[in-house]
Structure 1
Amino acid sequence: MKRYDLVIVGAGPSGLSAAIEAAKRGMEVIIFDENEKPGGQLFKQIHKFFGSKEHHAKVRGFKIGQELLKEANELGVEVVLNATVIGLYDDKEITVKIGDGINHYKGDAVIVATGAAENMVTFPGWTLPGVIGAGAAQTMMNLHGIKPGNKVLMLGSGNVGLVVSFQLMQAGCEVVALVDAAPRVGGYGVHAAKVARCGVPFYLSHTIKEVEGDEFVTGVTINQVDSSFIPIPDTEKHFDVDTVCMAVGLSPMSQLLKMAGCEMEDNPKRGGQVPIIDDYGRTSVPGIIAAGDVSGIEEASSAMIEGRMAGICAAEYLGYCTKEELEENLKILEDDLESLRQGMFAPKNRGKLIEKTEEGIDISTNLLEKGYVSEKEIERYPGVTHKVGIHPVIECTQNIPCNPCQDACKKGCISIGANITNLPIVKTEGNCINCGMCVASCSGQAIFLVDEDTGDGSSTVTMPYEFIPLPEVGDKGFGLNRKGEKICEAEVVSVRAVKAFDHTNLLTIKVPKEYAMKARFFKALA
């Protein structure tokens, strides 16, 4: 039996972050992961992260994974893949299935960072080939380059459902509808808005009645539900699809912690059965620490901070750092984590209907119910301004922890202020130079550069564009509104694809000037 200072189960964002902090302090660290590639969910995440610079804001998830792996390797962390941990005992002995053999290891400390598993819901036809989880769809697309289907219906409007819907379209799939039994969108409004303006209809207070097909999915029927989630008769809607994708939540994979004798609790707010822990992930069993989604479902940015906390706690437990160093580092990390747990989507606000922003502005009910902000509502937000010449229009309408746009603008046009959850404002004294960095840096793709009157009866709208094929200058098509409806003719007048934008291309279209504040996406002529 081989002994290590620290054994970590799970090579995802929290596990790798924990390993880095422990190895920095001289600990001998090994990580076991059941997958063939390390990085957990990070390598499925091709979108840009929210938060601040400290939280890897505007960096794509897979690049964060690459950075963590590189740092762990340089520090001498041993990562064993295709290794399933099947036992964790109260004396911190680990049994691992590698190939056909069972191997035994001993850790003086153990960090469990096993993450979470996708939830499923049942309905007639749910076992047919073509009914898949959103995580499975991401694995197919972003790890293996496989298109999950051609016509897809998404069930679930949380961030996972919204993000994966957009990625399905990026992969060339048609998303025919986004369905959720809840009466309002569960994820970030900016994620919903970028899906809606591509023409995907939202059906809130709806659920799947049945999936059709004999050997594989050929169609799906949904129906409306009442406030008690009871189906309403004669409200069925049918869609011809070959794939149904489910994003209906996650459950912590906490079985190893229970096996080790850690005190557990059923906590719906944290996602299910989770260990009882202190503020830093330490369980009731000394030397066994939980990090990331295994102790409560949150974003990957939070999981990385929790992993760092766990790694430092393990180091202090074994004498590799002083209590003073522990407290000093934990205070910094606590502040970072707390900044991510603010705003409308903070854990304390789960299940609550927030009616006003922190600034006292009415929340868009249309966004919550249909996925996009209406024309009547959009003007109330401080990022939506009117100026002569090219200027940023920021359609960020919810208090979420994110501020890269403020740092991206070197001319001082955009301000968020000290509170990371403030709505961004466009400063009247700012002098926009049309560099496009704010558009490219926005993790929610919610910033546009608009010239409301170019002098010839037209206007120009510069928008983020992450689809292929990339349109070319001179291409003609249509401007789409926030709902994804064709509203006017449009012509591409500029395409910018530079390294600094990190694959968020900038597409500038020319539209009649009355559509300057309405056109938010471009669709080329078929």
Structure 2
Amino acid sequence: MKRHELIVIGAGPAGLSAAIEAKKNGMDVIVFDENARPGGQLFKQIHKFFGSKEHHAKERGFKIGEALLKEATDLGVRVELNATVMGIYENKEVTVKMDGTVHHYKGDYIIIATGAAENMIPFKGWDTPGVIGAGAAQAMMNLQGVQPGSKVLMVGSGNVGLVVSFQLLQAGCEVVAVIDAAPRVGGYGVHASKVARTGVPFYLSHTVIEAKGGDRVKSAVIAEVDNRFQPIPGTEKELEVDTICIAVGLTPMSQLASNATCKMDLIPSKGGNVALCDEHGETTVKGIYCAGDVAGIEEASSAMIQGKNVASHICMKAGYIDADQFNTKYHGFQAALGELRQGMFAPKNKGRNDWVTTDEGYPISKNLLAKGFVTDEEIKAFPAANYEKEGIHPVIECTQNIPCNPCQEACKFGCIMVGSNITKIPAIDVSKKCVGCGLCVATCSGQAIFLVHKDFEPGYSSVAFPYEFLPMLKVGDKGKALSRGGSVVCDAEIIDVKVLPAMDKTAVVTMKVPTEFVDSARFFKLA
């Protein structure tokens, strides 16, 4: 039997962050992961993270994963891959299957960071080839470079469903529709908006009831549901698709915690059956901790902080740092988590559907919740999205209290203000001059910022918008400007394409449109 001071199970964002923190403080650490490569879900995530600089905001998930792996490697963290932890037993003994052989390890401390598994929903034909989970779709696209399908139905409008829908579009797939049994979009409005303005329709209070095709998916039958989520006869619609992508939430993979006799409880707000943990992540079995999604479903940013928090507590108990050092770290980690756990989408607000206004008193867009985009009339309630100013200036269409402030960091001239509370809706300091650099447009993780010049030339205005598709648009391209909801509003011409290293692959594309459409034109489609 081999012995280590700390055994970490899972090499995802929480596990790697915990191992790095412990190794920095001098602990002997080993990490086991059943996969062929470490990093967990981070390497599937090509979108930019939310939060603040301390939370890796505006960084893409796979780049965060690369940075974590490099730091772990440089520190000498031992990571065993293709290593399946089979069980945790008395005295913190662990059995691990590697290369067809079962190995025995003993740890002074154990961190369970096994993450979460995708939920599925049963329906007629749900085992037909072409019905896949959103995580599988991400792996195919972002790890293997393979299109999951040509015409895709997305089931689920939470952040995962919305993010993967956009990535499907980036991969050249057609997203035929996004549906959800809930009566409102579940994820961030900015995620929904960037999908909706490409023309993807949203069907809320709908579910999939059948996958047709026999040997492979050829169509999907969807139907409206009542307030008990039961299909309403006579409301069926058949959509021609070859792929049905399921994104209906995650469940903590807490089996090892249960196996270790940790006290468990079914907590819906945390995603399912989880180990009961104290404020430091320690379970009811002393020396065994949980961190990341296995302790409750949150974003990867939170998982990384939790991993560090748990590891620092272990380091204190093991004598590698003193109580004062730990308390300093602990309060810093809690402050960072507190920022991410504010606003409408905080874990404590999971399941709430009674929002009427934002924290600032702006009315919540009903159309955004029902169809994925804010109407021209609704957007007028938001000062940063609707004001008159000579010359070029930013228009910010962020309409919910979500934890994010890269726009404030991006503007070196102080045009954009968020303040110390990162869930505050961005405001514009109209006394400051915008130079039209476009960094705020490219930096915004929600792609919710545009640059508008109403008096670009007689009769015409310019609208700059974020663009992350291939082939890249070119100056002189002619086509149609699309509205927030993806409908054609007018003819448009591309007059500028800006791609800078600081923009991290997000182009800032500027189109010229007739002035009467400047407040509604938000995307472009080639003729």
TM-score where L is the length of structure 1: 0.99
Report SS of the residue matched to 1:311: helix
Give distance in 2, aligned partners of 1:419 and 1:522: 34
> Could you list the per-position Cα deviations for residues 157-212 of structure 1 after superposition, in whole angstroms to 9, with x for gaps in the alignment?
00000000000000010000000000000000000000000100000000011110
Are 1:105 and 2:108 an aligned pair? Answer: no
Q: Tell me, yes or no, if the aligned pair for 1:84 and 1:97 is still in contact at 8 Å.
A: yes
Distance 1:193 1:131 in 2: 25
Alignment check: 8 A CA contact 1:367 1:373 kept: yes
Matched residue, 1:478 = 480
- Which residue does 2:256 correspond to in 1? 256
**Paired position in structure 1 for 2:423:** 421
1:228 aligned onto 2:228 = yes
Matched AA of 1:381: F
Looking at structure 1, the residues matched to 261 and 137 of structure 2 have their Cα atoms a distance apart, in angstroms, of 35
What is the aligned partner in structure 1 of residue 208 from structure 2? 208
Q: How does 1:9-28 map to 2 (within 5 A)?
A: 9-28=9-28
Map of 1:402 onto structure 2: 404
Counting aligned pairs with the same residue, the percent is 61
Q: Does 1:453 align with 2:440?
A: no
Residue 453 (structure 1) shift? 2.0
- Gaps of at least 5 residues in structure 2 are none
Amino acid of the structure 1 residue aligned with 2:171: A
Equivalent position of 2:368 in the other structure: 367
Separation in 1, partners of 2:188, 2:520: 21
Query: How do residues 121-520 of structure 1 correspond to structure 2 at under 5 angstroms?
Result: 121-353=121-353, 354-384=355-385, 385-520=387-522
Per-residue CA deviations over 1:82-101 (Å, capped at 9, x if unaligned) read 11111111311111111211
What stretches of structure 1 of length at least 5 have no aligned partner? none
The structural deviation recorded for 1:386 is: 2.2
Instruction: Write the deviation string for residues 336-391 of structure 1: whole angstroms up to 9, x where unpaired.
Output: 10110000001111111211100011100000011000000001113213211110
- Deviation string, structure 1 residues 238-293 (Cα, Å, up to 9, x no partner): 11110000000100000001111111111111111000001121111111110000
8 Å CA contact 1:441, 1:501 repeated in 2: yes
Give the Cα–Cα distance (whole angstroms) in 2 for the partners of residues 343 and 458 of structure 1. 39
Deviation at 1:317, TM superposition (A): 2.0
- Name the SS of the counterpart of 1:351 in structure 2: coil
Greater Cα shift, 159-168 or 452-461: 452-461
CA distance in 1, matches of 2:114, 2:100: 22
Aligned residue type for 1:501: M
Q: Deviations over 1:56-76 (max 9, x none)?
A: 000000000111111111111
Looking at structure 1, the residues matched to 270 and 264 of structure 2 have their Cα atoms a distance apart, in angstroms, of: 12
Matched letter for residue 382 of structure 2: Y
- Matched AA of 2:497: V
Give me the whole-angstrom Cα distance separating, in 2, the residues matched to 1:376 and 1:202.
Answer: 19
State the alpha-carbon separation in 1 of the partners of residues 93 and 145 from structure 2: 38
What SS does the aligned partner of 1:241 have?
A: coil
Give secondary structure in 2 for the equivalent of 1:91. Answer: helix
Paired residue secondary structure (2:457): coil
Amino acid at match of 1:470: M
One-letter amino acid matched to 1:367? L
SS in 2 for 1:508: strand
- Report if the CA contact (8 A) 1:196-1:483 is conserved: yes
- Superposed displacement of residue 4, structure 1: 0.9
Q: Counterpart of 2:448 in structure 1: which amino acid?
A: A
Question: What do residues 7-26 of structure 1 show as CA deviations (whole Å, max 9, x unaligned)?
Answer: 10000000011011100110
What is the distance in 2 between the residues matched to 1:294 and 1:228? 29
Shift of residue 455 of structure 1?
2.9
d(CA) in 2 for partners of 1:513, 1:28: 65
Question: Greater CA deviation, 448-457 or 190-199?
Answer: 448-457
Deviations 1:486-517 (A, max 9, x none): 11101010011111100001110011111111
RMSD: 0.8
Identify the range of structure 1 (159-168 vs 72-81) with the bigger mean alpha-carbon deviation: 72-81
Give the AA of the match of 1:458: Y
Higher mean displacement: 203-212 or 317-326:
317-326
In 2, the alpha carbon distance for the partners of 1:115 and 1:222 equals 31
C-alpha distance in structure 1 between counterparts of 2:368 and 2:318, whole Å:
50
Q: Aligned with 1:198: secondary structure?
A: coil
Amino acid aligned to 2:361: G
Q: d(CA) in 2 for partners of 1:433 and 1:520?
A: 20
Q: How far apart are the structure 2 equivalents of 1:233 and 1:4?
A: 60
Query: Contact 1:90 / 1:285 at 8 angstroms: preserved in 2?
Result: no
State the alpha-carbon separation in 2 of the partners of residues 280 and 519 from structure 1.
49
**SS of residue paired to 1:375:** coil
Task: Give 1:452 deviation, angstroms.
Answer: 1.3
* Residues 1:87 and 2:87 are matched in the alignment: yes
**Matched-pair contact (CA < 8 Å) for 1:84–1:96:** yes
Count of aligned pairs: 525
- Whether the 8 Å CA contact 1:90–1:261 is kept in 2: the answer is no
Amino acid at match of 1:361: Y
Letter in 2 for 1:205: S
TM-score under structure 2 normalisation?
Answer: 0.99
1:67 has 2:67 as partner: yes
* Structure 1 counterpart SS, 2:494: strand
Q: Which of structure 1's runs of 4+ aligned residues deviate more than 3 A?
A: none
Deviations 1:203-226 (A, max 9, x none): 000001111011010000100011
- Structure 1 letter corresponding to 2:476: G
The answer as to whether partners of 1:111 and 1:288 remain within 8 angstroms in 2 is yes
